[in-house]
């Protein structure tokens, strides 16, 4: 035994028994720490390349998915080897001192328990990263399953640790957990609610990573970047990140734009407010004047939406026909979906003429560009039909000056 050998060696120079015991104890502890350090260093040199080769073999063509998780897994596995060796060698280091042997034996098992749990948790992260990268479109909540697995692992670790320190069987501790059920439900309330919510979300395909969702109550308006056990992270369009409780997706209402992104177009629903005082019947002279404008020549040649010979023809009817004609021939409007121009109920701000159609391009920037181009054209075309857009303050200099004077 190491202690006996050190005692026999050092007793030649140290004559006081108490001092000899202290020096032998300190030397034995130093030897244990040195053994742990050297064995960890050597095992890390051997384990890390082996772990990398093993993960590469399993991971296949998704080699970048586990880059950030590999060092942790290799390091935790490397810690297991010194712990396993030390469990077997404790009698060698402290066999002659039962109290020290029991203490180091207990600490070694705690060390082993901790790194077994951390190894399994790191392995769960690696598996989750591989599955997420290979099945990016899957509605299975791999992140939630990974976090739940790690939660169970660390609960088992806590039970094993307490049983080791108390010297009791884990079954004895588990039998007493029934009385603590209420406390456990309170402590793990968010985790349990999140787990149940995650199952419902996955089964019903309510939310997936990459979906654009809106939850005004939580200030969330952006793309889902992470679905976890207790939280959902949403990257807003201003690049801030909002954290939403997972169970809130079940208990509260939210808007998911995935259906729009998977459909044939993104809706354009906006109205032009026409000044009611500019609406009037169009007689033959005025109709010829409107027809004579070069911007409208193609419209009057192609259109079949309005009867130009009707006696009660109005300039708003002509304008609505022009708007629908423009939408029907627009290359970026999906003609397989609803295309409609309708007149809404007049109000104190004028007569709304609403456009209802769908942009074939669903990209946000392109969608806004298409929508703006359509309304730029229509607003510029209004005066050609002797119509005016409603404004609370006149945009023309003369009207604005007269209003200021009055």
The correct CATH number of 265-397 out of 3.40.50.12280, 3.30.870.10, 3.30.70.100, 1.10.150.240 is 3.30.70.100
**384, 297 in Cβ contact below 8 A?**
no
In this prediction, residues 322-331 reach a mean pLDDT of 92
Q: Given this model, what pLDDT does residue 89 score?
A: 66
Mean pLDDT of the chain: 78
Enumerate residues 6+ apart whose C-beta is below 8 A from 318: 282, 290, 306, 385
Q: Given this model, what pLDDT does residue 342 score?
A: 93
In this prediction the pTM is 0.53
Do the two domains 199-260 and 265-397 of this chain adopt the same fold?
A: no
Give the range with max mean pLDDT: 60-64, 86-90, 223-227, 370-374.
370-374
Q: Which residue did the predictor score with more confidence, 21 or 237? A: 237
Range with lowest mean pLDDT among 87-91, 191-195, 256-260, 277-281: 87-91
How do residues 234-270 score in pLDDT, each as one tens digit? 999 888 999 998 888 888 888 888 887 777 789 999 9
Q: Would the pLDDT of 396 be above 60?
A: no
**57, 130 in Cβ contact below 8 A?**
no
For the beta carbon of residue 177, count every other beta carbon within 10 angstroms: 11
Q: Given this model, what pLDDT does residue 60 score?
A: 62
**244, 232 in Cβ contact below 8 A?**
yes
Q: Given this model, what pLDDT does residue 319 score?
A: 93
Q: Given this model, what pLDDT does residue 404 score?
A: 42
Indicate the domain borders of the chain.
Answer: 2-134, 199-260, 265-397
Reported as type and span, the H/E element at residue 82 is helix 70-94
What is the share, in percent, of the chain residues with pLDDT greater than 70? 75
**Beta-sheet pairing, 255-256 with 340-343:** unpaired
Give the whole-angstrom CA distance, residue 381 versus residue 385. Answer: 7
How do residues 161-195 score in pLDDT, each as one tens digit? 887 777 766 666 666 566 566 666 666 777 777 77
Range with lowest mean pLDDT among 145-159, 171-185, 361-375: 171-185
Q: Given this model, what pLDDT does residue 406 score?
A: 45
Give the whole-angstrom CA distance, residue 23 versus residue 61. Answer: 56
Under CATH, which architecture does the 199-260 domain have? Roll (2.30)
**20, 14 in Cβ contact below 8 A?**
yes
* Confidence class for position 362, pLDDT limits 50, 70, 90: confident
């Amino acid at each position: 035994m190491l202690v006996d050998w050190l005692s026999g060696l050092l007793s030649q120079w140290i004559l006081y028994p108490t001092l000899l015991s202290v020096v032998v104890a300190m030397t034995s502890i130093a030897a244990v720490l040195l053994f742990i350090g050297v064995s960890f260093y050597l095992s890390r040199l051997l384990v890390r390349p082996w772990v990398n080769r093993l993960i590469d073999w399993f991971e296949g063509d998704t080699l970048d998915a586990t880059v950030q998780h590999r060092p942790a897994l290799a390091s935790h596995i490397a810690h297991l080897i010194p712990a396993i060796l030390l469990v077997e060698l404790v009698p060698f280091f402290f066999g002659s001192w039962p109290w020290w042997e029991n203490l180091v034996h207990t600490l070694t098992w705690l060390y082993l328990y901790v790194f077994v749990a951390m190894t399994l948790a790191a392995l769960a992260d690696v598996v989750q990263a591989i599955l997420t990268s290979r099945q990016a479109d899957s509605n299975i909540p791999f992140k939630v399953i990974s976090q739940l697995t790690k939660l169970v692992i660390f609960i088992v670790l806590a039970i094993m640790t307490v049983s080791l320190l108390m010297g009791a069987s884990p079954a004895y501790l588990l039998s007493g957990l029934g009385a603590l059920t209420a406390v456990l439900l309170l402590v793990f309330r968010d985790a349990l609610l999140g787990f149940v919510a995650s199952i419902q979300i996955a089964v019903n395909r309510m939310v997936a990573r990459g979906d654009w969702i809106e939850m005004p109550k939580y200030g969330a308006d952006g793309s889902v970047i992470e679905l976890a056990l207790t939280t959902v992270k949403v990257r807003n369009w201003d690049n801030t990140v909002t954290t939403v409780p997972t169970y809130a997706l079940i208990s509260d209402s939210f808007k998911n734009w995935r259906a729009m992104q998977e459909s044939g177009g993104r809706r354009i629903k906006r109205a032009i407010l026409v000044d009611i005082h500019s609406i009037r019947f169009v007689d033959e002279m005025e109709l010829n004047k409107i027809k004579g404008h070069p911007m409208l020549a193609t419209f009057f040649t192609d259109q079949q939406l309005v009867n130009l010979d009707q006696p009660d023809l109005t300039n708003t009817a002509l304008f609505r026909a022009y708007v629908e004609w423009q939408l029907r021939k627009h290359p970026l409007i999906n003609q397989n979906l609803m295309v409609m121009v309708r007149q809404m109920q007049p109000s104190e701000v004028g007569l709304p003429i609403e456009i209802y159609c769908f942009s074939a391009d669903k990209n946000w920037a392109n969608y806004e560009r298409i929508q703006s181009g359509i309304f730029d054209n229509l607003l510029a075309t209004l005066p050609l039909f002797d119509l005016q857009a409603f404004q609370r303050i006149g945009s023309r200099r003369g009207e604005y000056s007269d209003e200021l004077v009055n």
